[in-house]
Structure 1
Amino acid sequence: MSFGAFVRRHSAAGELVVQPRMGFGDVALMRAGLAEVKRAKAPTVGTITLDSYTRLGDLESAGRALRDGNPINGYPILNHSAGTTREMIEGLAGEDFPIQVRHGSPKPLEIFRGMIRAGLYATEGGPVSYCLPYGRTPLAESIREWTVSCQELSAVRDTGREPQLETFGGCLMGQLCPPGLLVAVSVLEAMFFRSLGLRSVSVSYAQQTNAAQDREAVWALRRLCAELLPGVDWHVVIYTYMGVYPRSPEGARDLLAESVRLAVATGSERLIVKTVAEANQLPTIAENIEALELAAATTAQARREGLALPVVGDGGQTYQEALALIDAVLNCGPDLGRALVTAFGRGLLDIPFCLHPDNAGRTRSYLDGEGRLRWSDIGAMPLARVVESRPEGDKLTARGLMEALSRVQRTFDDRVLEGADRRSALASGAR
């Protein structure tokens, strides 16, 4: 059973597939983590997250860390032999437990080749979403490498396997990017994958700062995929909030639960979780399992409460913004890879607060009083007839930026403190 078919089967049964971000340099520890995820009381897929050295192509440093016994923040798949990785997943990977490789690389060709040699056929990323926000690799270079990578991954279908590729486009910068642009890039990367032979894809969206706006954004994403990805097996994956995380365990659990409710309410099929440790350190295996099982329990509770909606939304403002951006890119030429380069060169796509040389850097966003992400400056993006007028006083200052970045953390931690204060007051009254 393919990755996509596994997710569809659980979704049809009313279950949300949940997944950790987990990667260890030690082979035995990586296997132990996968085994615990498989045993969790939740419908899960496994994750092999690669280390930052491998992401940057610095295999020498990864190898030196392994030889010296120094910890690294992920699994160095290119330093371990294909046989070693095959042995590591033997008896775990299968129709009841697909495994995805997560990497973060703007130039992933050797990573794709390494995972295919090891018998792994599901991965994620994208030529825009793993290029512009994080490094300085030229966008055109990333597009070229991702083109060959997608072609080689799609060729796996000739062996009877169905590869799966997830776009990271809905998670650009993690925060403070209005959802119209997130949705547009997610759909454009999925269309790019399809143009290169992939027939099973997933489209991502990262939980942001306003629950109602998030629901609208996911409906927009679903509507655009239905319109623009004919003949493709696709599903939606939600990422629990990727910005500054609550420090309190209770606040972290509440934020995770809210992302579960977003997924359930929008019919999303998969969720990437975060743990109580996110504000402080890399999570342990046990903390990942706790998050997975909490997500599964919250899913069941949400469905009992009737949260799943029988009628989908139309995507509202987010749909209109995303469609305008997608149309502008498609009008740049028939080759989608080249069109993306052209669109960024003209500022038709422009990521706020992104310092990459190929990003125009003329757009800005802000949080309104309800916590909705809005545009304060659209630069050259074709949104003048779509976006509401932007009050001059709502432009983001340096202080406002810091406050916006910490809004979610403060909101969820403050709820915990307020609850503790109420309990303390009630206890004092009882005495």
Structure 2
Amino acid sequence: MSERQTADFGAYVRAEAEAGRLVVQPRMGFGDPAVMRAGLAATRAAAARTVGTITIDAHTRVGHLAAVESALRDGVALNGYPLVTHPAATTAGILAGIEGPHFPVQVRHGSADPVDIFQAMLAVRLGATEGGPVSYCLPYGRTPLAESVLNWERGCELLTRLRDTGVEPHLETFGGCMLGQLCPPGQLVAISVLEALFFVQHGIRSISVSYAQQTHPGQDREAIAALRRLCGELLRVSDWHVVVYAYMGLYPQTHDGAYRLLGQAAELAVEGGAQRLIVKTAAESQRIPSIEVNVRALEYAAWAARRATRVPVDAAVGSATYDEASALVNAVLELDPDVGRALLLAFRKGYLDIPYCLHPDNKGQTRSYIDGDGRLCWEATGALPVDAPRRSRGRRSTSADLLGDLSYIRRKYDEPAGGALTAR
């Protein structure tokens, strides 16, 4: 393990971006160490600029380690890699000869209490991971937000110890992907920026900020421009980049529809000036993708990215998305100089409020809808410090309306021509 070359996740992505290449990444995790190693090796060998992923299993994410041990003992397949339970030597063996300066590996997990996971990373000198005190708390369970904030404070400070081993820790905020869908872009951008500021406040110097592809390409480009502008204004670190996620809601069920949507995600990343893309596959709606299916998706995304052209954005030109995100971020930061305390106060007051999120610490007074042009809009803003919705719906949305919006992208891209579709 000590002979493995140090990988700097942020530096690798930055170097590829400077050479004009988009880095593509799978969301891959397997419980069997041999399969996990094969997945990393195949990702590295793909005809694309890639980084590797070790995605943690669902039991480990919530600290149910006894369930992991039982599954391993009984030969029950896990839906990810049990990093905390497998010995450090096993994980080091998976990485040996694969992970390094030209192929960094990121740990993805979904935990509101990542301390055990980060300790396991420290044991094998893995420096890149992701999440956040809000984005890995509210959508995933009932852990109190205040507890998640404390856990993430401890987690950030633990990751900084990696510097003693020669590894620069890198943290990606998941805040731009809240619930995957139907959270208007201004709030996604705001939470991504706020979580990045939280990371910096707790000693992290290498950051990536996320944004998930939504329902309207033009609105998504506005959102990425707003994210880049706000980070340029507020982040006090130089090592940061933008990562775009292919659509995270109900994915198309047809092969052609899935690839058409993935191609648009790659175009969005390039046109918006992002440096990395989290890829989804044509198998997403049916099963956990195989290694081969992941590699095909990576190579297709890289091909689509090479065909796209970056769209220059005048940093001085604002947008409704920038104005909304800026208003949210500034309102939260004014609550307390400590970003963690400010986030807690913001949710208590309803300054941040995720539509359709059932977590007890979320006010639940906001609602959104997809308009006739496919844009994701506020229907009700609760106590958010933003302008009231311009369009009054005149009635509460029905469950049928909500289900229609949730399936909007699937229906649109599964149509043979991928044509226009009215949400409701």
TM-score of the superposed pair, with normalisation by structure 1: 0.94
Question: Aligned partners of 1:357 and 1:372: how far apart in 2?
Answer: 28
Q: Choose 395-404 or 249-258, whichever is displaced more.
A: 395-404
The answer to whether the aligner puts 1:328 opposite 2:334 as a matched pair is: no
Counterpart for residue 310 of structure 2: 308
Shift of 1:155: 2.5
Question: Aligned partners of 2:407 and 2:95: how far apart in 1?
Answer: 39
Question: Aligned partners of 2:404 and 2:37: how far apart in 1?
Answer: 40
Root-mean-square deviation over aligned CA pairs: 1.2
Deviation digits for residues 159-195 of structure 1, max 9, x if unmatched? 3321100000000010000000000000000000000
Shift of 1:80: 0.2
Paired AA for residue 26 in structure 1: D
Asked if structure 2 preserves the Cα contact closer than 8 Å seen for 1:219 and 1:312, the reply is no
The answer to whether the aligner puts 1:93 opposite 2:83 as a matched pair is: no
Give 2:351's match in structure 1, choosing from 348, 353, 375.
348
Paired AA for residue 392 in structure 1: R
Change (3 A) 1:417 1:207: closer
Deviation digits for residues 331-360 of structure 1, max 9, x if unmatched? 111111111111101111100000000000
Paired AA for residue 228 in structure 2: R
Shift of 1:394: 7.2
Shift of 1:239: 0.2
Give 1:222's match in structure 2, choosing from 222, 225, 228.
228
Question: Aligned partners of 1:357 and 1:391: how far apart in 2?
Answer: 27
Asked if structure 2 preserves the Cα contact closer than 8 Å seen for 1:365 and 1:395, the reply is no
Q: Show the 5 A alignment for 1:186-197.
A: 186-197=192-203
Asked if structure 2 preserves the Cα contact closer than 8 Å seen for 1:365 and 1:396, the reply is no
| Higher Rg of the two aligned structures | 1
Asked if structure 1 preserves the Cα contact closer than 8 Å seen for 2:257 and 2:418, the reply is no
For the residue of structure 1 that corresponds to 2:416, the secondary structure is: helix
Paired AA for residue 345 in structure 1: R
Q: How many residues align?
A: 412
Question: Aligned partners of 1:125 and 1:342: how far apart in 2?
Answer: 20
**Structure 1 residue runs without a partner (length 5+):** 419-431
Question: Aligned partners of 1:344 and 1:149: how far apart in 2?
Answer: 22
Shift of 1:415: 3.4
Change (3 A) 1:255 1:198: same
Asked if structure 2 preserves the Cα contact closer than 8 Å seen for 1:162 and 1:200, the reply is yes
The answer to whether the aligner puts 1:184 opposite 2:190 as a matched pair is: yes
Give 2:173's match in structure 1, choosing from 142, 155, 167.
167
Paired AA for residue 31 in structure 1: R
Shift of 1:392: 2.4
Counterpart for residue 108 of structure 1: 114
Question: Aligned partners of 1:165 and 1:90: how far apart in 2?
Answer: 22
Counterpart for residue 261 of structure 2: 255
Question: Aligned partners of 1:271 and 1:394: how far apart in 2?
Answer: 38
Question: Aligned partners of 1:253 and 1:231: how far apart in 2?
Answer: 36
Paired AA for residue 266 in structure 2: V
Shift of 1:312: 4.2
For the residue of structure 1 that corresponds to 2:219, the secondary structure is: helix
Shift of 1:417: 7.7
Counterpart for residue 429 of structure 1: none
Deviation digits for residues 177-223 of structure 1, max 9, x if unmatched? 00000000000000000000100000000000001000000000000
Give 1:8's match in structure 2, choosing from 3, 14, 19.
14
Deviation digits for residues 204-256 of structure 1, max 9, x if unmatched? 00000001000000000000000000223100000000000100001000000
Asked if structure 2 preserves the Cα contact closer than 8 Å seen for 1:376 and 1:394, the reply is no
The answer to whether the aligner puts 1:357 opposite 2:360 as a matched pair is: yes
**Structure 2 residue runs without a partner (length 5+):** 1-6, 420-424
Counterpart for residue 232 of structure 1: 238
TM-score of the superposed pair, with normalisation by structure 2: 0.95
Shift of 1:398: 1.1
Deviation digits for residues 248-276 of structure 1, max 9, x if unmatched? 00100000000000001011000000000
Question: Aligned partners of 2:353 and 2:162: how far apart in 1?
Answer: 34
Paired AA for residue 408 in structure 1: I
Question: Aligned partners of 2:210 and 2:90: how far apart in 1?
Answer: 31
Change (3 A) 1:268 1:394: farther
Question: Aligned partners of 2:229 and 2:88: how far apart in 1?
Answer: 40
The answer to whether the aligner puts 1:319 opposite 2:325 as a matched pair is: no
The answer to whether the aligner puts 1:70 opposite 2:76 as a matched pair is: yes
Deviation digits for residues 401-425 of structure 1, max 9, x if unmatched? 111000100111103588xxxxxxx
Identity of aligned residues (%): 57
Asked if structure 1 preserves the Cα contact closer than 8 Å seen for 2:347 and 2:353, the reply is yes
Counterpart for residue 424 of structure 1: none
Question: Aligned partners of 2:181 and 2:312: how far apart in 1?
Answer: 29
For the residue of structure 2 that corresponds to 1:77, the secondary structure is: coil
Counterpart for residue 290 of structure 1: 296
Give 2:62's match in structure 1, choosing from 56, 79, 101.
56
Give 1:370's match in structure 2, choosing from 370, 373, 395.
373
For the residue of structure 1 that corresponds to 2:182, the secondary structure is: coil
Shift of 1:300: 1.2
